[in-house]
Amino acid sequence: MSWVDGQPLGGVSVHDRALAYGDGLFETMRVIAGRPRLFERHLARLQAGCERLGIVIEPRAVSQEILAFSRELDDGVAKLIITRGEGLRGYAPAPGAVPRRILLGSPVPRYPAEHRAGVTLFPCRTRLAEQPALAGLKHLNRLEQVLARSEWSDASYAEGLMQDMSGRVIEGVFSNVFLAKSGRLITPSLERCGVAGVMRAELIERAGQAGIPVAAEDVWLEQLLAADEVFLCNSLYGIWPVTELGAHRWPHGPLTRKLQALISDLSSSA
Active-site residue set? 28, 138, 171
* Nearest-angstrom CA–CA distance, 189 and 215: 9
Answer yes or no: are the C-beta atoms of 16 and 100 closer than 8 Å: yes
Measured distance CA(127)–CA(105) in Å, rounded: 31
- Phi, psi dihedral angles at 261 (to 5 degrees): -70, -35
What whole-number distance in Å separates Cα of residue 251 and Cα of residue 182? 14
DSSP 149-207: HTT---TTEEEEEEEBTTSBEEEESSSEEEEEETTEEEEE--SSSSB--HHHHHHHHHH
Q: Which of 193, 200, 197, 248 is nearest to 224 (CA)?
A: 248
Residue 64 to residue 85: CA distance in whole angstroms: 20
CB 102 within 8 A of CB 83: yes
Distance of CA 126 to the CA centre of its chain: 18
Q: Strand pairing partners for 174?
A: none
Q: Is 22 exposed, middle or buried (0-12, 13-18, 19+ CB in 10 A)?
A: middle
Distance, in Å, from the CA atom of 124 to the CA atom of 89, rounded to the nearest integer, reads 35
